[in-house]
Structure 1
């Protein structure tokens, strides 16, 4: 008979990409996870992974088994959590993904009191600026900043997001303050690499207008964009959750080109068809209350 811990270890290895990473996720030794995988493969009479010196990759049998194994593990976790929730407890594992800068600056501080109030929740939080696939990467939910693009996701807004063009006083003193989208052509821009120049979209009587200044820097991290703007490298388009303090202190200034940036949101989303757990719903409610509306980091342009 197949053991659930072997199936759970297999799913963790497939999602994490290695036995070592799966062992860290499961809080087990590498040898225990390896033994569980070997026992599962023996019980199935099939190899689930192709092994090389560099990585593990799923065999054809492994790929077929993974879909059903993932559902088994999730359903058992949800059933266990449901039983605890019936007794008025929020419990069990929860795995989230969030952007690096927002996670470090705002999500983490908001999570800590929630987790302290619900010590039976075992949260795994992975900070990554890439767009992870909530439907297939094993996450219960993802926290994102932007517009909802994936129709397979069910989303709840945590807070509205105000984005502003910003630059340092030194940069504006040297190169002047642009007053229109056309003026931006003579300036240097700091772009978010995961979005690029197409990110500079502005509202113009209900339609989108674009600006594409020459790039001074392209980088995939909001902290570095802010720091580059503080260093006088160019103009950056950044959310107030990153630059709110700098705007209040005057170390960065709003660049007003007569157009509003297209609005965005900070939201949490989970795969369509997956029932949201009571602990996820409780977390969303707690985050909304902590962030406020308007959110505490917002500033007036």
Structure 2
């Protein structure tokens, strides 16, 4: 029979990179961690960790088992939390992942308010612009900006977030205004390097694709906003990121005669988290905090005409 303390020791070794580091994290003797790891390998009948004097690396069996080991520990923690839960009080760990820009700009305040309402929740948040697999990576839920196509996940809509072509007034004064999509070809573009370089627009005849001239490629939306504020070119950015800049006039929305394709914000979680009261409460809280329509959709300042 699998023992949870043995599974915990294995996960900690995998994450820490060595038995010594895992022992320090767990507050146990190195010999105890080594014994628990050996007991788990004996129970499973497979070597999980290749040990060296300085570092421990996962075997192929270890890499396969790691995702399930994390899920076993997560399920155990959730079971303890549910048994301990009394009345409407929410208790126990809640592990979230979110995109870097959205997490930094829009999640902090509502999450801190959520924690004040539910002080017995143990929240862990990791910001990552890669598409995280919540089941494999040990998360209860992930925030996604864009469609959730994985059928293993249940998605709850949080808010809308239009995308805008934006630039600084100084850049447009120097480079000239944009009256139509064709005008974009002579402007400098600040592009997101994790996606294709195309800009897509909705029109009466369907989608139109523009391949702008690249001035700068960045893998972070906040850096793209900073580049636009610095007058380096035009960027296609979500409204949640530029709301205050548009209100203050530091950036303006470029009307090229067609609307950029928008996106929705979701909280997505594995099927086995469908009954989680913590996730349900979080989704309800975030929806109320963002509003419908979301507060960042209310103000846009257009480029000057003429």
TM-score over 0.5 for the pair: yes
Partner SS, residue 154 of structure 1? strand
Partner SS, residue 107 of structure 1? helix
**Structure 1: distance between partners of 2:55 and 2:172:** 50
The Cα shift of 1:132 comes to 1.5
Structure 1 position 112 matched with structure 2 position 112 = yes
Structure 1 position 193 matched with structure 2 position 193 = yes
Unpaired runs of 5+ in structure 2?
301-306
Q: Is the 2:246–2:299 Cα contact (8 Å) retained in structure 1?
A: no
1:65-214 to structure 2, matched below 5 A, reads 65-66=65-66, 68-85=68-85, 87-198=87-198, 200-205=199-204, 207-214=206-213
> Equivalent residue for 2:303?
none
Q: Is the 1:145–1:266 Cα contact (8 Å) retained in structure 2?
A: yes
Aligned residues between the structures? 296
Q: Deviations over 1:30-80 (max 9, x none)?
A: 653855541222213354212458864322442454355334323212211
TM-score with structure 2 setting the length:
0.87
Q: Which moved more, 1:180-189 or 1:265-274?
A: 265-274
Structure 1 position 42 matched with structure 2 position 38 = yes
**Structure 1: distance between partners of 2:193 and 2:32:** 41
The Cα shift of 1:244 comes to 0.7
Q: Is the 2:153–2:268 Cα contact (8 Å) retained in structure 1?
A: yes
Q: Is the 1:166–1:229 Cα contact (8 Å) retained in structure 2?
A: yes
Q: Which moved more, 1:226-235 or 1:176-185?
A: 176-185
**Structure 2: distance between partners of 1:56 and 1:216:** 44
Q: Is the 2:94–2:124 Cα contact (8 Å) retained in structure 1?
A: yes
Q: Which moved more, 1:83-92 or 1:216-225?
A: 83-92
TM-score with structure 1 setting the length:
0.88
Structure 1 position 271 matched with structure 2 position 270 = yes
**Structure 1: distance between partners of 2:282 and 2:68:** 28
